[in-house]
Amino acid sequence: MKKLFIKTYGCQMNVYDSDRMADALAPSGYEATTDIDEADLVVLNTCHIREKAAEKVYSELGRLRIMRQKKEQKGGEMMIGIAGCVAQAEGEEIVRRAPVVDLVFGPQSYHRLPDLVEQAQTKKVVETDFPAEDKFEHLPKPKKETTIARGLTSFLTVQEGCDKFCSFCVVPYTRGAEVSRPVHQIITEAQDLVDAGVKEITLLGQNVNAYHGLDANGETQGLAQLLYKLADIDGLDRLRYTTSHPRDMDDALINAHRDLDMLMPYLHLPVQAGSDSILKSMNRQHTVEDYMRLLERIREARPDIALSGDFIVGFPGETDEDFEGTLKLVRDVEYAQAYSFKYSTRPGTPGATMDNQVPEEVKSERLQRLQELLNHQQTEFNKSRIGTTMPVLFEKTGRDPGQIVGRSPYLQPVQVEADPSHIGTIRDVFIDSVGKFSLFGKIVINS
Ligand code: 5AD
Ligand code: SF4
């Protein structure tokens, strides 16, 4: 058996993709390892969303070069591959800048990995085309034991790419145009996951609520219809989806939140900024008011829904007043959790050449203020759970003996003292206290 070590950067789709790479290489005799020292093949599955993310890859390559030298001195070998969005965006440039790399391949080539690895034995390989064939049709299924070992919750990509072209974002260039997988492919994959014991599936897409896949009759189905179909799978308890664009939250999807109990009441719906002029130059195609009205409709359909979001501070031209708009929006919405970032110039995107780039110190100061507010809201949201009872899907034993850990509908880790036989089940838990990262409680015995 040869050993494969994959290091994953960035988003959940990269997590999903890393598993697909392992699946693709399994028939060639590669077994996943968590010990990089014993790896025959090291793959960095990279992220290009912000400058820092890409730079991390080059510094990791510096470390890998030394590891590889040591290994070769002892007569061993270590092939190095770069996958993901940096691979897609930089291609040949990576091999020029870091000659230690043997193989560069973009997200649409993972099904061709066995062949690419074979070629890389004798020459440098750079493969960043968008092939005509459907990679999902060509990716081998994981063995049931492999899926079982991956746990009770799983990601499932239903859509890739993005046609929105927000002016700060590289995704439309690295992941390409929006493509939706056909319904039957997704149902089959979900059924296989459930057969291996998976209880919760998170549907993934760069713009997941723009999903428009074909069904067996050749008709286009939206994300809502897909969710209703998945909800029919026996043994599947929870559904989630991420990440969404406000423009694609249609009535059908809002109604799915009303109708489907198993669709968790937790929605990641990035707004990015709280000023109409910034939203316009970001090409978000919606206003602050559109977003607020949309939230009202979603909350009406599913009153217990909690919101998560993404924010960018310091987009070119952002004034103090624009930034105050972002703080106001956050105060009005009351997020359960959110990610926030300083604007990072991405070459090739319209934002990169805009006038009025915001100085770094101003970005840092704004980010700090925004994060203080968001952290405060997250703490308040967690505290608001004390004294309530929530269903928790127990996934594993905790750090302390006698403890088991699961997730609430809002993805909060919940720890209880209980028998490990509860793992794999959903139990009502009375929340009695809140720590820095987790909630604590007791399983409610239903009479
Ligand atoms: N700079 C900073 N943050 C960015 N994001 C995307 N592109 C950039 C960029 N150039 C953030 C957005 C997006 C999240 C995945 O990353 O908030 O929703
Ligand atoms: Fe990027 Fe999301 Fe905008 Fe698409 S919708 S361009 S993935 S931020």
| pLDDT tens-place string over residues 134-147 | 889 889 999 999 99
- What's the mean pLDDT in 69-88? 94
| Closest atom of ligand 1 to CA, residue 344 | 1
Pair (90, 166) in one structural domain: no
| 276 is a domain residue | no
Phi/psi of residue 4, nearest 5 degrees: -120, 125
Annotated binding site for [4Fe-4S] cluster: 11, 47, 85, 162, 166, 169
Length of the chain measured in residues: 447
Residue 345 resides in a domain: no
Q: Of the ranges 131-140, 202-211, 250-259, which one carries the lowest mean pLDDT score? A: 131-140
- Let me know whether 91 and 44 are in one domain: yes
Respond yes or no on whether the N-terminal peptide bond of residue 157 is cis (omega within 30° of 0). no
Number of domains in the chain: 3
Angle at 31 between CA 28 and CA 35, to 5 degrees: 140
d(CA 31, CA 39): 9
Side-chain-facing half-sphere of 438: CA atoms under 13 Å? 14
Counting from 1 in the atom list of ligand 2, the atom nearest the Cα of 165 is 6
Q: Supply the angle between the helices 288-301 and 320-333 in degrees, to the nearest 10.
A: 10
DSSP letter assigned to residue 383: H
Q: Could you say which of 62, 93, 127 is where a domain stops?
A: 127
28 C-alpha to ligand 1 centroid (Å)? 37
Pick the range with the lowest mean pLDDT from 4-18, 132-146, 193-207, 212-226.
Answer: 132-146
CATH code for position 437 = 2.40.50.140
How many Cβ atoms from other residues are within 10 Å of residue 164's Cβ? 17
Q: Domain end: 127, 152, 169, which one?
A: 127
Which is it for strands 413-417 and 439-443: parallel, antiparallel or unpaired?
parallel
DSSP character for 295? H
pLDDT of residue 447: 54
Phi, psi of 101, deg, nearest 5:
-80, 130
**435 falls within a domain:** yes
Beta-carbon contacts of residue 166 (< 8 Å; ≥ 6 apart) = 272, 282, 283, 284
Residue that has been written with the tokens 């590669």 in this structure: 30
Taking each helix axis as running N to C, give the angle between helix 320-333 and helix 360-383, from 0 to 180 degrees, rounded to the nearest 10: 10
Pocket of ligand 1 (CB under 6 A): 49-50, 168-169, 270, 272, 310, 312, 341, 343-344, 346
Burial class (CB in 10 A: 0-12, 13-18, 19+), 291: buried
Ligand sitting nearest the alpha carbon of 165: 2
Of 280, 282, 214, 285, nearest in space to 249 by CA: 285
**Quick one: 122 and 152 in the same domain?**
no
Residues 150 and 51 in one domain: no
Q: Residue 413 in contact with residue 439, Cβ under 8 Å?
A: yes
pLDDT tops 90 at residue 293: yes
Are the C-beta atoms of residues 95 and 126 closer than 8 Å to each other? yes
* Strand, coil or helix: 370: helix
Is 322 a member of any domain?
A: no
- 107 and 169 in a common domain: no
Mean of the per-residue pLDDT values of the chain: 96
Last residue of a domain, one of 219, 236, 264: 264
Q: Which residues line ligand 2 (CB under 6 A)?
A: 162, 164-166, 169, 171-172, 206-207, 245
Say which ligand is closest to the CA of 248.
2
Task: Evaluate whether 16 touches 155 at the Cβ level (below 8 Å).
Answer: yes
Q: Which atom of ligand 2 is nearest to the CA of 163?
A: 4
| Mean pLDDT across 195-210 | 97
Mutation pick for ligand 1 pocket among 284, 310, 335, 346 (CB with most ligand atoms within 8 Å):
310
Rounded to whole angstroms, the Cα distance separating 372 from 78 reads: 44
User: What's the rounded mean pLDDT across residues 150-162?
Assistant: 96
Give the Å distance between the CA of 109 and the centre of ligand 2.
Answer: 22
CA 165–ligand 1 middle distance (angstroms): 12
39 C-alpha vs ligand 2 centroid, how far in Å? 35
Dist CA 327 CA 275 (whole Å): 10
Residue 163 C-alpha to ligand 2 middle, in angstroms?
A: 8
Atom of ligand 2 nearest to the CA of 170: 1
Same domain, 191 and 247: yes
Q: What is the pLDDT of residues 379-409, one digit of tens each?
A: 999 999 999 999 999 999 998 899 999 999 9
Which helix or strand (DSSP H or E) is residue 54 part of?
Answer: helix 51-73
pLDDT tier, 21 (very low <50, low <70, confident <90, very high otherwise): very high
Indicate the annotated binding residues: 11, 47, 85, 162, 166, 169
What separation in Å is there between the alpha carbon of 269 and the centre of ligand 1? 13
Q: Which residue range is the domain that position 434 belongs to?
A: 389-443
Looking at the DSSP bridge assignments, the partners of residue 269 are: none
Percent of the chain with pLDDT over 90: 93
Cα 391 to middle of ligand 1, angstroms: 32
The contacts of residue 68 (CB under 8 Å, 6+ apart) are 78, 80, 100
Q: What secondary structure does DSSP assign to 64-103, as a single string?
A: HHHHHHHHHHTT---EEEEEHHHHHHHTHHHHHH-TT--E
